[in-house]
Amino acid sequence: MKPNTDHNEALFERAKRFIPGGVNSPVRAFKAVGGTPRFVQRAQGAHFWDANGQRYIDYIGSWGPMILGHGHPAVLQAVQKALLEGFSFGAPTEREVELAEAIIHLVPSIEMLRLVSSGTEAGMSAIRLARGATGRSKFIKFEGCYHGHADALLVKAGSGLATFGNPTSAGVPPEVVRDTLVLEYNNVKQLEEAFALHGRELACLIIEPIAGNMNFVRASVPFMQRCRELCSQHGALLIFDEVMTGCRVALGSAQSVYAQSIPGFAPDMTVLGKVIGGGMPLAAFGGSRAVMEQLAPLGPVYQAGTLSGNPVATACGLATLQEITRPGFFEDLSRKTRALVDGLTGAARDAGVAFSADSEGGMFGFFLLDALPQNYTQVMKSDGARFNRLFHGLLERGVYLAPALYEAGFVSAAHSAQDIAETVGAAREVFQTLQKP
């Protein structure tokens, strides 16, 4: 049954009059897949309802934060209590300390951290701090990784290793990205060449250890090991951007996954967001005491925020972390996510559709490709038109995936076996139609 999208369309038209593109963040506009964005009216558990009252199984979960599903009772209770005590003070609170302690308990490579309000803010501040702490300006990022929209990070590869990046957004002056070196993900040889050329000038290397902004691509263990070794050898800080993967792929975040294969592995700094705020505007960056003490008011690196450590956001984050720390939480979530991925893979195989998929904890990705891609160029070889047919076929059947093929997906604790079975059933139908040219 094709849902009537009238109310969504009417809202989208209205939104476009006063909000650029009708949305407050570009990917929401459905530009990559076409069609009308669904305006969410309310959500509960693994589902949300759009402006037409149509129900969807939600595999975005606010792009990761809603790991418990929507409206978890313990989180609601914590937020309601916090609301009555006050929205914002601009002065310290006990909950900020509790949340810092909780995060450091889960991610022990962090000795000190600072809370901020968005992943963009956290990533930007981490880079500034790395530059301030090392006294160096240049840094490495990887093509296809997203670290928020700070100027120096909106950059694509230049023409060679000796040249630095080019802006990917208008309004970013070339001189601002002059010190950003953009390399290919999982390319050890290029990484070694870059360090050989620029090692002594590098403040840091920032990476999504499991990239979730070019769909789902893991850094290989040898590649990650080389990143660690080269940073240590050259005095550059290894920054893990775990805004998406933090407390999402494992309780200890992606760094705990790599530590299983690389003994003693740890990044120097970690950027967190999404899950640690449980759906409220909250993010963090942290690292060793020596580095973090370079921040104002202790040190010379300035960073601040009126709403940082907001009391309602910290209540939401704390309650969320408490729930995901329960014994067996991640085992259950991982099992569910694998059941989804295995179900989709089986359905594609039965329909003769090229398909590959991967997952870790409550995060997954799939490609209409025979093998899992290893970098951005390979991800972009996916057939966009076929993905869009899959996306819309599933949307019509009440399954909401990310509206672009370069995004990861998320399963929450609230997704039931029934939700997964419904999703796989819907995919089975759509895959049959994908065979036809």
Ligand X SMILES: *Cc1c(COP(=O)(O)O)cnc(C)c1O
Q: In whole angstroms, what is the distance from residue 18 CA to residue 285 CA?
A: 34
Query: How many residues form the binding site for ligand X (CB under 6 A)?
Result: 15
As given in the structure block, the two tokens for residue 36 are 């009308």
The verdict on 65 binding ligand X (CB under 6 A) reads no
Provide, rounded to whole angstroms, the least separation between the CB of residue 231 and ligand X.
19
3-state class of 33 per DSSP? coil
Which amino acid makes up residue 262?
Answer: I
The verdict on 147 binding ligand X (CB under 6 A) reads yes
The verdict on 244 binding ligand X (CB under 6 A) reads yes
Contact 174, 166 (CB under 8 A): yes
Provide, rounded to whole angstroms, the least separation between the CB of residue 165 and ligand X.
17
The verdict on 213 binding ligand X (CB under 6 A) reads yes
The verdict on 212 binding ligand X (CB under 6 A) reads yes
The verdict on 208 binding ligand X (CB under 6 A) reads yes
241 belongs to the catalytic site: yes
As given in the structure block, the two tokens for residue 167 are 């802006």
Burial group, residue 254, by CB count within 10 angstroms (0-12, 13-18, 19+): buried
- Which residue from 61, 123, 252, 309 is in contact with ligand X, where contact means CB under 6 A? 123
Contact 382, 366 (CB under 8 A): no
Stretch that binds ligand X, among 103-111, 239-247, 252-260, 354-362 (CB under 6 A): 239-247
Taking the mean position of all CA atoms in its chain, how far away is CA 122? 13
The verdict on 119 binding ligand X (CB under 6 A) reads yes
Query: What is the dihedral sign for C-alpha 375, 25, 90, 127?
Result: positive
Sheet holding 40-44, edge to edge: 40-44, 47-50, 55-58, 399-400
Provide, rounded to whole angstroms, the least separation between the CB of residue 119 and ligand X.
2
Stretch that binds ligand X, among 31-39, 119-127, 185-193, 324-332 (CB under 6 A): 119-127
The verdict on 360 binding ligand X (CB under 6 A) reads no
The active-site residue out of 58, 138, 268, 274 is: 274
146 belongs to the catalytic site: yes
Provide, rounded to whole angstroms, the least separation between the CB of residue 58 and ligand X.
17
Q: In whole angstroms, what is the distance from residue 244 CA to residue 295 CA?
A: 24
As given in the structure block, the two tokens for residue 161 are 């290793």
Beta strands in 70-225 (DSSP E): 112-116, 138-142, 155-156, 166-167, 180-183, 202-207, 210-211, 217-218
- DSSP for residue 301: B
Which amino acid makes up residue 107?
Answer: V
Provide, rounded to whole angstroms, the least separation between the CB of residue 241 and ligand X.
5
Stretch that binds ligand X, among 1-9, 161-169, 238-246, 248-256 (CB under 6 A): 238-246
The verdict on 279 binding ligand X (CB under 6 A) reads no
Which of these, 342, 296, 351, 9, lies nearest to 125 by C-alpha position? 296
3-state class of 112 per DSSP? strand
The verdict on 320 binding ligand X (CB under 6 A) reads no
Stretch that binds ligand X, among 93-101, 208-216, 313-321, 330-338 (CB under 6 A): 208-216
Q: In whole angstroms, what is the distance from residue 430 CA to residue 147 CA?
A: 34
CB atoms within 10 A of CB 222: 12
Provide, rounded to whole angstroms, the least separation between the CB of residue 402 and ligand X.
12
- Which residue from 146, 366, 406, 431 is in contact with ligand X, where contact means CB under 6 A? 146
Residue closest to ligand X, measured at CB? 119
Provide, rounded to whole angstroms, the least separation between the CB of residue 356 and ligand X.
22
- Which residue from 8, 118, 310, 423 is in contact with ligand X, where contact means CB under 6 A? 118
Q: In whole angstroms, what is the distance from residue 305 CA to residue 253 CA?
A: 25
CB nearer to ligand X: give 267 or 343: 267
3-state class of 238 per DSSP? strand
CB nearer to ligand X: give 275 or 339: 275
The verdict on 241 binding ligand X (CB under 6 A) reads yes
Report the catalytic residues. Answer: 146, 241, 274
The site for ligand X (CB under 6 A) is made up of 118-120, 123, 146-148, 208, 212-213, 241, 243-244, 273, 283
